[in-house]
Structure 1
Amino acid sequence: MNSSDRLAIVTGGTKGIGLAFSRRLTRMGFRVVATYRSDEESANLALREVEKGLSVVRSNVSDPDEVAGLAELVRTEHGVPRVLVNNAGLNIDRPVLEISDSDWRRVLDTNLSGPFYMTRAFAPAMLEAGGGSIVNIGATTAIRPRLNGANYCSSKAGLLHLTKCLAMELAPSIRVNCLIPGMIDTEEMRTRYRVAEPEYRDALLSEIPQRRIGATDEMADALEFLIGDGATYVTGQKLIVDGGQFMW
């Protein structure tokens, strides 16, 4: 890819794993447009940290009109992406009989419809420009369910199959894969699993053959592989980065 081709879009790309993706892509020479939904403070922190090659845009991926507007803004101000990372996600955990219509719709709209809207908006220009790579960020709960997460688990299970459908329809020019994190060291994971408390951390680590929590940079390593020249024959696949916790 020459310099004019090296544009990447990362939804939810201003904190956590998404920020690690944005940071890695800029180091690889990409210009990166990272979206965020509401956390402007994290977006500003990301800009100060990355310094060069990163632009941030406020956009709600669950709204097809906003996504269409985002695609037009990117096209006119930045160009056509070679890489699209559908990373933005939402959890609203409730027992299944307590999940409201809004809880269900918001999670499905963000985690499943969002990647569809983004791909529909950006893929035509990517195809016209010669193709590229799309990476959807999944979850291990797409394969093994958990309590109080029917909306989240369903959205991520759907994303696995959407990945395969997109890979079939956009081939051969665009490769589409699903990157699935295990226990990765983010603020959300530390809070959810109470890893600061020894008994909870020990119980968690006992389930992971490598006996450690993964780093966000290890997710970025996997992303770099999936979009790189070493993966040109890889499409429609899921790559689980979890220290061996789930061997599917």
Structure 2
Amino acid sequence: MAPTAVVVGVGEGIGTALFQHFATAGMDTAICTTRTGETDPIAEDLRDAGESARTIECDPRNPVDISQGFADVLEAFGTIDVVTFVAGSAPKGGLFECTRSQFVDALDRDLLGGFCTTRAVVPKMEESGGGTLLYITESTGIEPRRADVGARTAEAGFRGLASAIDEELDDFDVTYISLGEIAAQNQTGNSSSYEETASLCIDLVTGRDGEPLESTYRIDFDGETPHIEAGEMSDR
């Protein structure tokens, strides 16, 4: 039976790239998103190409909704081995440009969504011995805006959420990836960073030699080239 990868919080960027990469790597792949109108055609194209892919409509911020979404994944594929939550709040401006509702919305989508997603899926994954949790933020990867108070606050909190989960869950490989850091280090645009990050995630899930990973890995940087290094989760 092929391993199952679930991508949560899919938009037009890294989430879509990950969905396609996981499917073409031979994994059973599902998307949990409120934007099925955008992802259904991608899943259909993958199935036409012989890949195992489906979309599931649910809101990651709603505990009942996301729990049912994962139940649907289990019904379809029998297991959940990898879950990727993509945080990507759109830039909303600085301290006096960002409204209260925009600030709350950034935290709601990224932090609450990541929190509810993890609480819903961990018990299901523990039944089969754990798995891999990937937390990816792309808010500053779209276009770095130092005065973007909403997205930058959400991103810092998202990193903290992933770090706390990494410390708590012994049976899981937990990784946090900042697309913005990869783009800044390589001075690349968004599209190349999406493809690069998706490839890195495949390495994290399968191992560089095709063997499953047994320890926590992180994204680290050496000069201008991002690479994967074994060890504790980075506090960068």
TM-score (norm 2): 0.78
Deviation at 1:132, TM superposition (A): 0.7
1:37-56 map, 5 Å: 37-38=34-35, 40=37, 42-51=38-47, 52-56=51-55
Deviation at 1:182, TM superposition (A): 3.4
1:106-117 map, 5 Å: 106-117=105-116
TM-score (norm 1): 0.75
1:59-208 map, 5 Å: 59-139=58-138, 141=140, 146-171=145-170, 173-182=171-180
Provide structure 1 residue ranges, at least 5 long, that are not aligned to the other structure: 186-206
- Matches of 1:239 and 1:118, distance apart in 2: 25
- Matches of 1:102 and 1:117, distance apart in 2: 20
Q: Please say if residues 7 and 80 of structure 1, whose CA atoms lie closer than 8 Å, have aligned partners that are also in contact.
A: yes
- Matches of 1:133 and 1:153, distance apart in 2: 25
1:23 to 12, 20, 23: 20
Residue identity (%): 21
- Matches of 2:57 and 2:148, distance apart in 1: 27
1:170-221, Cα deviation, whole Å (9 max, x unpaired):
11x1111111213889xxxxxxxxxxxxxxxxxxxxx76x564334321111
1:205-239, Cα deviation, whole Å (9 max, x unpaired):
xx76x56433432111110122223543234x345
- What amino acid sits opposite 2:179 in the alignment? P
SS at match of 1:81: coil
SS at match of 1:165: helix
Change in CA separation of 1:110 and 1:94 when aligned onto 2, cut-off 3 Å: same
Q: Please say if residues 138 and 178 of structure 2, whose CA atoms lie closer than 8 Å, have aligned partners that are also in contact.
A: yes
Provide structure 2 residue ranges, at least 5 long, that are not aligned to the other structure: 227-235
Deviation at 1:240, TM superposition (A): 6.3
Q: Please say if residues 136 and 177 of structure 1, whose CA atoms lie closer than 8 Å, have aligned partners that are also in contact.
A: yes
Instruction: Please name the residue that 1:221 is paired with.
Output: 199
- Number of equivalences: 216
- Matches of 1:22 and 1:241, distance apart in 2: 28
